[in-house]
Amino acid sequence: MITLLADTGLPGWLKLLISLIAPAVVCAALNFVIEKIAYRPLRNAPRLAPLITAMGMSHAAADAGDDHLEAQLQALSDPAARASRSTSAGR
């Protein structure tokens, strides 16, 4: 998030505030959607169904995070990407 705000010309304290609030809003929205789609239909289900759903949602979230992190690590290890970053940093 901070790298997106780096060239905006905003003061540092405002960049920090935005980079703290934006992920909280995104996570709250994601939590709302997961609750609506996965958990609300299971309100009157047997006890085991919400547990299995929670394990599935946890696994899905971990996989999504792993995929995102893996893509970032591949971009960092790509020599062409590193060269373009060092060239653009020297402007």
Residue partners of 1: CB distance under 8 A and separation at least 6: 18, 19, 22, 23
18: burial class by Cβ within 10 Å (0-12, 13-18, 19+)?
Answer: middle
- Write out the chain's pLDDT in tens, 91 residues: 557 778 888 898 998 899 899 999 999 999 999 999 999 999 999 999 999 999 999 999 899 888 878 877 787 787 666 566 555 555 4
- Every domain of the chain and the residues it spans: 1-44, 46-91
pTM of the model: 0.63
